[in-house]
């Protein structure tokens, strides 16, 4: 009897903690908007289930991360300062994938923390997400010297780590940043100008290709096209929130 009471109190605490976190998240993600009753319903029914799954995911991702940290499958291992595994919410619904770490990322061991990374953070915020809510990764986990494009062999050595990451996180949408990311993940060979803005698919997950933020730093006029692409992604989440 006593056990049942304590158990039910603990379950309620988790339930309400999750509910409060979810409601805070909604208010932060959509400031000034009325709270949609359908969202509340979804939070009340789904959050506790998700918490269990996410715990398992974190354990498995940690294991994967420690494997990647020891990887020496390609020559990039010799010149790296740090492996840049990826970071963010392990149960993110939105994932961004770039090409590979640059100098700043290599020094810090974190993805997208240099100038292009700061622009990516702004893009994420413009989409009404925070950097902590999404997951950010790269095609290759070690810096190619002088920021050159990773070679096909380097991509082949690394791509399964990314595919495993995607499986663990299971996002609803992936945004692929630049041609290298699209061609490496989807196994095609197309220019990003042709690919961007059109929905593609990877193992049942919706994929939106767009220009890489590093390109936007050089070509400011392309920001408008990127914003159009990102708005298509935002619509997916609006539909989920309001249905
Ligand atoms: N460019 C990338 O593609 N990835 C990073 O992490 C940083 C810059």
| Best residue for ligand 1 mutational test, from 81, 87, 96, 100 (most atoms within 8 Å of Cβ) | 100
Per-residue pLDDT tens listing for the chain (243 residues)? 344 444 444 445 555 655 565 566 556 555 566 665 555 555 565 433 333 445 555 578 999 999 999 999 999 999 999 999 999 999 999 999 999 999 999 999 999 999 999 999 999 999 999 999 999 999 999 999 999 999 999 999 999 999 999 999 999 999 999 999 999 999 999 999 999 999 999 999 999 999 999 999 999 999 999 999 999 999 999 743 333
Coil, helix or strand at residue 174: strand
Q: Distance between the two ends of the chain, CA-based, in angstroms?
A: 41
What burial class does residue 149 get, using C-beta atoms within 10 Å of its C-beta: 0-12 exposed, 13-18 middle, 19+ buried?
middle
Q: Which CATH class is domain 58-236?
A: alpha beta
C-alpha of residue 127 to centroid of ligand 1, in Å:
19
C-alpha of residue 37 to centroid of ligand 1, in Å:
38
pTM: 0.77
C-alpha of residue 100 to centroid of ligand 1, in Å:
5
- Cα radius of gyration (the chain): 19
The full set of domain ranges for the chain reads 2-50, 58-236
Protein residues with CB under 6 Å of any ligand 1 atom: 98-102, 105, 111-112, 114, 116-117, 138, 214
Coil, helix or strand at residue 83: coil
Q: Which atom of ligand 1 is nearest to the CA of 180?
A: 3
C-alpha of residue 7 to centroid of ligand 1, in Å:
46
Q: Which atom of ligand 1 is nearest to the CA of 84?
A: 6
């Amino acid at each position: 009897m006593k056990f049942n009471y304590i158990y039910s109190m603990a379950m309620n605490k988790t339930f309400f903690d999750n509910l409060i976190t979810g409601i805070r998240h909604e208010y932060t993600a959509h400031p000034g908007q009325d709270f949609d009753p359908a969202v509340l319903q979804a939070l009340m029914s789904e959050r506790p289930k998700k918490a269990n799954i996410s715990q398992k995911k974190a354990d498995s991702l940690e294991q994967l991360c420690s494997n990647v940290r020891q990887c020496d499958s390609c020559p990039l291992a010799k010149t790296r300062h740090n492996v840049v595994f990826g970071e963010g919410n392990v149960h993110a619904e939105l994932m961004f994938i770039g090409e590979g770490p640059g100098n700043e990322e290599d020094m810090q061991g974190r993805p997208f923390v240099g100038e292009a990374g700061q622009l990516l953070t702004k893009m994420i915020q413009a989409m009404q997400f925070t950097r902590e809510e999404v997951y950010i990764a790269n095609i290759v986990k070690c810096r190619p010297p002088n920021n050159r494009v990773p070679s096909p062999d380097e991509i082949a050595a690394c791509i399964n780590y990314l595919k495993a990451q995607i499986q663990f996180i299971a996002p609803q949408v992936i945004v692929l940043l630049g041609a290298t990311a699209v061609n490496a993940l989807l196994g095609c060979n197309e220019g990003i100008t042709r690919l961007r803005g059109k929905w593609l698919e990877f193992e049942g997950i919706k994929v939106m290709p767009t220009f890489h933020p590093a390109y936007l730093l050089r070509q400011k006029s392309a920001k408008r096209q990127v914003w159009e692409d990102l708005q298509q992604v935002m619509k997916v989440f609006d539909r989920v929130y309001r249905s």
